[in-house]
Amino acid sequence: MKLPESVELSAFVDTSAAVTSTLDDDASSWGLRGDMLREQKLLAPGGPVDPSDWRHPDVGWGVVMADDDAVSVADRAAGADAPAAVRRLLAARHGSPVLRYRPELGTDRLMRYGSDGSKQPPEIGVSVFGTGPGRIPRYLLIVGDPTVVPWRLQFALNRRHLVGRIDLPDEALERYVDALLTDWAGLEPDPGAALVWSTDHDSMTQKMDVTVAIQVDAALRSDAELTVRRISGAGATHAALRDALAASHPALVVTSSHGMTGPLEDPVAMRATLGLPVDQDHEALDPLALLGSWQPGGSIWFAQACCSAGSNLGTSYDGLLAEGSLAKRVVDGVASLGPQLSPLPQALLGADQPLRAFMGHVEPTFDWTLFIPDTGQHVVTELVRGVYPRLFQRQPIGLALADYYAGVGALYGKLSDAHNDVDAAVPGARDRAMYFKLTALDRESLVLLGDPTVMAPLLPSQQTD
């Protein structure tokens, strides 16, 4: 990017001169002091557009895929190189654009091609929502694994857009799209049933239980229309989980546990079990055994666990942990696997009766990021509220999580303030910078797998004749 030699302000002092300036000698450092993120709110003439209406052209839904220069511009615009199931989905959601990830655009822009041969690279974070030329839809479905469309793009889009990802073999993808297009007709779970399962191994799982599982359970129980099955502590075995799922077929499943990140000396085995929930007997969940006794059939699953969604390219936490510590070895071991999706969401979303959506973490998670150390205040409240009441208010799942992701911007803003305080030699600023960076990175690593427009099934009180 070549910048002009000077900047001009839209300010007025008197008629003598324009308000301009060259840049300070140290201006190149100014842009490094943290991400200053803002949310753009759009008002259509006559009133605001309903953000849950993804079919509205000023909201919009679209697909994000890796670019391919071997495909013609017209075919790239139409998504002709997409898997057959995705082409069917695009045809059913007529007018939805296909946007392209190009490595040289990083997380700053996406490429839009037109059937007339035109090219536009709309800016992520500031472009107007919608399906029209030069716009980026608010709802986006990434198609492809994180080796071709990286997690970091999903993290960046999540700050303002409502993003899901799907990466399945062709037959499994066909099943998922079939279910999506019919809103899981004939595969509905019990809309009034929920299951909250959490382990109690150590201080980490106890903190996860207190900040997430217990809070979600309490929120769900505040609704007289919901029946909540709670399995915790010594009873949190995989056998109990399988039995409860088969017996109640809940619309919502919440699991809180360690995620499998071993054996560190065997990358092949580690990749095959990455992020699987570890039960009270220290066993990793077997997805095939699970699907042998229960089919997801339209349920939604949130797995609070290390790597429950996958691993990234490298690690965001290099330089944070002490050399030789087990935590450092785990972080480095996960990073060595490269970018991938974990096996549990793959199995559930591609099942004979597919899951609606899966929420989980990329990379390991940290205890510090669950609460503010000096006050003990929980910082995942908006995640709990995304699960209940927003999901059960029939908000699209992407929109239900929007306030949680909006907090990423606030955290990066606090990180920027801490950077400034470090420069000003304010006591404690370095510790605050470390905390806010860690918390921002951890929060943005929660991702949605599946389409962001899916909604929880209707409760009886929401059904009409």
CATH number at residue 345: 3.40.50
> Of 181, 212, 236, which one is at a domain's C-terminal end?
181
User: What is the structure's pLDDT at 463?
Assistant: 84
Same domain, 176 and 234: no
- Asked if 198 contacts 277 with a C-beta cutoff of 8 angstroms, the reply is no
> Of 134, 153, 181, which one is at a domain's C-terminal end?
181
Same domain, 110 and 172: yes
pTM beyond 0.85: the answer is: yes
In a domain, 139, yes or no: yes
Sequence letter at residue 98:
V
CA distance 292 to 158: 34
The boundaries of the domain holding residue 291 are: 190-459
Question: What is the longest distance spanned by two Cα atoms in the chain?
Answer: 80
In a domain, 18, yes or no: no
Same domain, 133 and 201: no
Q: Running along the chain, 465 residues long, what does each successive block of 10 average in pLDDT?
A: 47 44 57 47 65 97 98 96 98 97 97 94 95 96 97 96 98 98 94 97 90 96 97 97 97 96 92 95 96 97 96 90 89 94 98 98 88 82 95 96 93 93 91 90 95 95 79
Residue 59 φ/ψ, nearest 5 degrees:
-115, -75
CA atoms within 13 A on the CB side of 401: 28
In a domain, 12, yes or no: no
In a domain, 1, yes or no: no
What 8-state DSSP symbol labels residue 360?
E
In a domain, 44, yes or no: no
User: What is the structure's pLDDT at 181?
Assistant: 98
Same domain, 152 and 285: no
Residue 456 tokens read as 């929880």
Same domain, 306 and 217: yes
Same domain, 141 and 173: yes
- Going 60 to 65 to 67 to 72, the CA torsion angle's sign is negative
Burial of 381 (0-12, 13-18, 19+ CB in 10 A): middle
- Asked if 347 contacts 285 with a C-beta cutoff of 8 angstroms, the reply is no
Same domain, 165 and 211: no
In a domain, 33, yes or no: no
Q: Which residues of 220-255 are buried (b: 16+ CB within 10 A; e: fewer)?
A: beebeebebbbbbeebbbbebbbebbeebbbbbbbb
With H, G, I as helix, E, B as strand and everything else as coil, classify residue 162. strand
Residue 420 tokens read as 């400034």
In a domain, 363, yes or no: yes
In a domain, 6, yes or no: no
User: What is the structure's pLDDT at 24?
Assistant: 62
- Asked if 111 contacts 42 with a C-beta cutoff of 8 angstroms, the reply is no
CA distance 126 to 108: 10
Same domain, 177 and 238: no
Same domain, 76 and 196: no
Same domain, 194 and 175: no
User: What is the structure's pLDDT at 131?
Assistant: 97
Query: How many helices (H) and strands (E) in the chain?
Result: 16, 16
Same domain, 157 and 292: no
Same domain, 166 and 249: no
Q: How many domains, the chain?
A: 2
> Of 152, 181, 210, which one is at a domain's C-terminal end?
181
